[in-house]
Amino acid sequence: MHKILNFLIIVLFKSTKGAEYMEAKMKLDNFRFDVNVIQTRHKGDVTDCAVKCTSRLDCLSIQYRDSMQTCRMFDTIFLTSDGASYENGWRYYLKTGGICPPHFTFTAIDGLCFHDGGVLRRDAGVKYCAKVGSGLILVNSANIEFFLESILDRVTPSYSGAKSAYIQGQWNSTHWLDDDGQELQYTKWEGGTNNPGPSRIYNIKIKQSSGGYYWKEATSGNDYVRHVFCGVILR
């Protein structure tokens, strides 16, 4: 176990399944998050904090304030400072690696490894996820849907005041399929069902509406920038 301070990455351990890391997200420096805290500690250094997080399957990220030796562990992932309070000295770290590909976080939610791809057009998002060894996130259960909605709740709207993201799925004129050509077993369409009919090729977006988050067709909307989340489902 050692620190690589030049890259602001803490290497926690190495095993046959790969190394596990804590990656610093410096854009979130000096912001304190007060939600989804699962444990707070007031002793030890940042490496101790990171190791304690590693020992918990439900810990996805940490914050550490060196001047107070305060460690906070979270069961979620923060992508922006939305909803946080400014307080000097905090640094935020995301747990990555381990049984997941590099830079992906194991969520312990139905085998999901998660990675934030930023805000992109759909075609650019697909290319980015492929570059890091995955596809757009496959929402194949209510648990993953809830996780994704909780992430979107804490981000800045990607355009025109709407919080939205591209997710995996394509209409082949008769069925909605995932990237492997299998029919989607879980859906959350606004209105309950969606059948665009023949001679249509649509993709899927999840978008916030007055009643919550629902799936909608992404047609010309593919040209809009939305949040892109990459995902790998461990079988």
> What pLDDT score was predicted for residue 121?
92
Residue 20 pLDDT class (50, 70, 90 cuts): confident
> CATH number for the domain including 210?
3.10.100.10
Boundaries of domain holding 65? 2-98
> What pLDDT score was predicted for residue 6?
34
Residue located via tokens 């890091």: 132
Bridge partners, 167 (sequence order): 204
> Both 220 and 132 in a single domain?
yes
Q: What's the whole-number mean pLDDT along residues 165-189?
A: 93
pLDDT tens per residue across span 87-113: 999 999 999 998 999 999 999 999 999
> Both 119 and 224 in a single domain?
yes
Among 65, 98, 131, give the residue marking a domain's end: 98
> What pLDDT score was predicted for residue 213?
95
Residue 106 lies in a domain: no
> Both 94 and 158 in a single domain?
no
Among 98, 130, 156, give the residue marking a domain's end: 98
> Both 26 and 56 in a single domain?
yes
> What pLDDT score was predicted for residue 13?
52
Angstrom CA distances, 159 to 100, 120, 129, stand at 31, 11, 21
Residue 2 pLDDT class (50, 70, 90 cuts): very low
pTM for this model (two decimals):
0.88
Overall number of domains in the chain: 2
Do 30 and 105 contact (CB within 8 A), yes or no? no
> CATH number for the domain including 75?
3.50.4.10
> Both 150 and 199 in a single domain?
yes
> Both 173 and 224 in a single domain?
yes
> Both 132 and 224 in a single domain?
yes
Sign of the torsion angle spanned by Cα atoms 118, 30, 63, 103: positive
Residue 80 lies in a domain: yes
> What pLDDT score was predicted for residue 4?
35
Q: What's the whole-number mean pLDDT along residues 169-185?
A: 92
pLDDT tens per residue across span 129-164: 999 999 999 999 999 999 999 999 988 887 667 899
Residue 107 lies in a domain: no
Mean pLDDT of the residues in the chain: 88
pLDDT at 216 over 80: yes
> Both 117 and 226 in a single domain?
yes
Residue 185 lies in a domain: yes
Continuous segment of H or E residues that includes residue 120? strand 112-120
> What pLDDT score was predicted for residue 161?
73
